[in-house]
Structure 1
Amino acid sequence: MILLVNPVTWAHCDGLDGPVVTDARVALDAGDVTPVLKWIPETDEQEVREAFDQALVVREQGPEARELADRYFFETLVRLHRAYEGAPFTGLLPSGAEVSPAIAKADAALEQGDVDDLARHIAAAVEASIREQFAVASTAKADKDASVESGRVYVDKYVEFVHYVKHLHEAVAGPGGHGHGHQAAEVDAGDTHHDQH
């Protein structure tokens, strides 16, 4: 379950109606690449500028060429943006593609200038998930001395629970537990066994 939204999970950046392509359309129509440069690191700026200039030239060849040129630029820009996020690019998603509810709420919060609904939504999801993990670990603890196998089940659930909470806390407060983390995390309890407590 994704409890906190990492930039790596912004699948809607792949969408033809997502924020990256929206800015790309503005840039192409204005003949100015500036609006899209924020989406990529400085190291990729030259490639984006070249793709932009090529697209502008091809666009002049007619409607079909314009469509192909735009698509080429969108794909180049989104591919580099996704690489910057550390995520793979598997193609552009059609307009109206399903977006994570958390991402939709984050977008709405920024659009409305009000984070209260988003904060309540995430807080409720985190609380519900912690309670669920706790209930599983607590039930296993009650039977931990019944047999060696029961004890091992408890240890598995204990490790999952404490690392789950640890990752959540670090995502919010940072590794040292002081202040706010700059990157949130997708918590996968299945990977917690690789950590040490």
Structure 2
Amino acid sequence: MERGDVDLVLPFVPVDGEDEVRNMFDAVLPVRALGEEPRGVADRLFFETVVRVHRTGEGAPFTGLKPAGLDVGPVIPLAERAVSTGSSTEVADYLCGVLRDQLTHRLGEVKALAVSKDVSVTHARAWVEAMLGFQVFSHRVLTALTASPPGDTEHSHAHRAA
């Protein structure tokens, strides 16, 4: 906003949301000159629009702007470091460890419940729920790991030809 250049944020929104972001930028830019309070309102409206359009492009709901500095968990900083260093080793090692721990824990539950699955329908049902849960979890992880990158979806952030 300070530079007066909407192009700085356009890479973060899908092509089909570009006009909405440009229009909002053009609408709020003159409001920013009216003083500090109008500038704050204009900036918030603009950034809410950018984030909402961005989230829509990801197929995710807009849940409002979040304050800077919120804990994003351990994987985002690792992914950011991978982008800056060009090495995915740290993030891959972390994710593999989490996956291994989850699979071990979930399979442990299945094995523990298998011991008593023949005792009653209630016990069998608990085992089936854990067993199917393990299988579905494994399938969902594979699906997430093999999904197309966001740029390959219908909500592509593809660039327009200049």
After TM superposition, the score normalised by the length of structure 1 is: 0.69
Distance 1:183 1:128 in 2: 26
In the alignment, which residue of structure 1 is the partner of 2:133?
A: 160
Distance 1:119 1:164 in 2: 19
1:59 pairs with one of 27, 32, 50: 32
1:140–1:153 contact (8 Å) kept in structure 2:
yes
Distance 1:141 1:33 in 2: 59
Distance 2:126 2:36 in 1: 63
CA RMSD of aligned residues (A): 1.9
2:8 pairs with one of 19, 22, 35: 35
C-alpha distance 60-134 of structure 1, shift in aligned 2 (>3 A): same
Aligned length: 150
CA offset at residue 183 of structure 1? 5.5
CA offset at residue 70 of structure 1? 1.5
Report SS of the residue matched to 1:94: coil
Distance 1:162 1:125 in 2: 17
Q: Does residue 138 of structure 1 match 2:138?
A: no
In the alignment, which residue of structure 1 is the partner of 2:90?
A: 117
CA offset at residue 164 of structure 1? 1.3
Which blocks of at least 5 consecutive residues in structure 1 are unaligned? 1-27, 175-180, 185-197
Distance 2:143 2:78 in 1: 22
In the alignment, which residue of structure 1 is the partner of 2:157?
A: none
Q: Where has structure 1 moved over 6 Å in runs of 4 or more?
A: none
Q: Which moved more, 1:105-114 or 1:116-125?
A: 105-114
C-alpha distance 75-62 of structure 1, shift in aligned 2 (>3 A): same
2:70 pairs with one of 94, 97, 110: 97
Q: Does residue 182 of structure 1 match 2:148?
A: yes
Amino acid at match of 1:140: L
CA offset at residue 71 of structure 1? 1.6
**What percent identity do the matched residue pairs reach?**
36
Report SS of the residue matched to 1:95: coil
CA offset at residue 146 of structure 1? 2.5
Amino acid at match of 2:8: P
Report SS of the residue matched to 2:12: coil
Which blocks of at least 5 consecutive residues in structure 2 are unaligned? 151-162
CA offset at residue 155 of structure 1? 1.3
Distance 2:128 2:34 in 1: 67
1:171–1:183 contact (8 Å) kept in structure 2:
no
2:121 pairs with one of 143, 148, 156: 148
After TM superposition, the score normalised by the length of structure 2 is: 0.82
Amino acid at match of 1:66: R
